[in-house]
Amino acid sequence: MTYVTSYWTDRQRIRRELLTRWDDKKLDAYENYIDRVRAAVFLAVELYEHREGIRPSDDPEPQLNAELSQSIHLRGRAFERIMLLAGDDVIEAAHTLNAASREVDWQATGRTPGTLPDWRDRNRAVFRAINTFHEAARTDLGVSGTVTGDSHPERDLLLPPARRQR
């Protein structure tokens, strides 16, 4: 009986250690992916604002394009880790987030035409998709609570006050 109890206890301990190890890797992958998505969005915003004359950058446009391209590449690599480690709902949320962030990239680089309201709608869609990804990742990791809903109402983009006409 002692042998069976010892065997069962060791088996449960090893199973818990494996689950914890994979959860750590998932958390790292989820964190890295969101970080890469946000980095690409912020670079796209800088490029878009420079191209549209909203807020000129100190960096030339070719450099901004190169930085955005590199960031998109790193985001793609981070996405691949999601595909390897995540559950189905997280993978679907990542696909949705990828599509929304690509639309921001395309308008920033001029591949997709659009107005300033289109641009803002695309950015809102990205941040809604980030929240959806957060929810799916939290569920996958067994984290209680939510990042949306009654306790956490949806927030809009932080925009500077409109310029006054002179």
Beta carbons within 8 Å of 72's beta carbon, 6+ residues apart: 40, 105
| Residue-level pLDDT at 161 | 64
| Residue-level pLDDT at 162 | 58
| Residue-level pLDDT at 166 | 43
Cα–Cα distance for residue pair 47/64, rounded to 1 Å: 6
| Residue-level pLDDT at 27 | 93
**C-beta of residue 98 within 8 angstroms of C-beta of residue 42:** no
Q: Is 131 left (phi over 0), alpha (psi -120 to 50) or beta?
A: alpha
| Residue-level pLDDT at 159 | 66
| Residue-level pLDDT at 89 | 96
- Stretches where the chain sits below pLDDT 50 are 164-166
| Residue-level pLDDT at 144 | 82
- pTM given for the model: 0.80
| Residue-level pLDDT at 120 | 95
Amino acid 153 reads P
| Residue-level pLDDT at 149 | 60
**C-beta of residue 107 within 8 angstroms of C-beta of residue 14:** no
The two three-digit tokens of residue 14, written as one number:
């090893």
